[in-house]
Structure 1
Amino acid sequence: MKELEKKLSDKQINPTAMRLLALDYLTKRSAAVSLTEMELEMDRSDRVTLYRTIKTFEEHGLVHRIEDGTGITKFALCQQGCDPGHHHDLHVHFFCNSCKETHCLPKTIIPEVVLPEAYQAQERELIVKGICAACAV
């Protein structure tokens, strides 16, 4: 629990009971999760408090949101280097068409895109869809 408290305090997040539970839950996940999944799987969680917790985590650079094309926003822990309000983990996300899980691929970087003059990029996302390693077996 001390490690979780340190992770929160390193991001200037006050370690409340719900924040510690949410961080513990996210740390144990191998795939990105939606707020609904978190609410259903976490005991003693209330939707509004959980939403505020994830919003705080995102604002402080602890989690990032993933729009994987399913219409459901998912969240995953950030890699080191994300700052409050500014995420630096520009990696590919993989959506498995079989198990419907979304995975971060932190070692697969989104390639630089050269835009025409006068175009200004504000965000970059790349979702690859297919069959994950676990489902391919």
Structure 2
Amino acid sequence: MAQTRNDLHFEDLLNKHHLKKTAPRLRVLSMMSSRNAATSQPDLESVMNDIDRVTLYRILNAFEEKGIIHKVFDLNGTANYALCKSHCDEGHHHDEHLHFNCTNCKNVYCLNDLNLPAINLPAGFQPDSFTLYATGLCPKCSKKGVVK
């Protein structure tokens, strides 16, 4: 089977973060990159039923630690995962962007292209990171005419 450009990109990504190139890791990266919204472990389990729960948990944990994915919570408090931008690395996530929770379809979207204002905290506060959430209807649900 021929490798696609994405497969090679994912292999390079794993090499960059000193992770073994295993079929399950490559499949998780491929699945996550094919989605336009963050995804939860249970959602991944339902479509990747040949990867057991413990292995999937370990993959997600390793990816988060290495700065490949970041965790964002939905309206129910469930952890969802999205691919990081290239400037994240081990122990240093830089995913300071708006996370949009759709109140209808329950998807969580990373809105990376918005220009967010600088956050000026009072003296003495030293943030490691921040998370900004918005809730409402995503474009797909808005088109359906969902009434809030």
- What's the TM-score bracket when you normalise by the shorter of the two chains? over 0.9
- TM-score (structure 2 length as normaliser): 0.86
Percent of aligned pairs with the same residue? 39
- Among 8, 11, 19, the residue aligned to 2:14: 8
- TM-score (structure 1 length as normaliser): 0.92
Instruction: Check the 8 A contact 2:40/2:79 in 1, yes or no.
Output: yes
RMSD: 1.4
Larger of the two Rg values belongs to structure = 2
Q: Which runs of 4+ in 1 moved over 6 A?
A: none
What are structure 1's unaligned runs of at least 5 residues?
Answer: none
What are structure 2's unaligned runs of at least 5 residues?
Answer: 1-6, 144-148
The aligned amino acid for 1:131 is: L
Q: 1:110 to 1:133 in 2, by over 3 A?
A: same
Aligned length: 137
2-side partners of 1:109 and 1:124: how far apart?
A: 15
The aligned amino acid for 1:112 is: A
Q: How does 1:1-137 map to 2 (within 5 A)?
A: 1-137=7-143
Which protein is richer in strand relative to its size? 1
Farther off after superposition, 102-111 or 127-136: 102-111
CA drift at 1:107: 0.7
Instruction: Check the 8 A contact 2:100/2:110 in 1, yes or no.
Output: yes
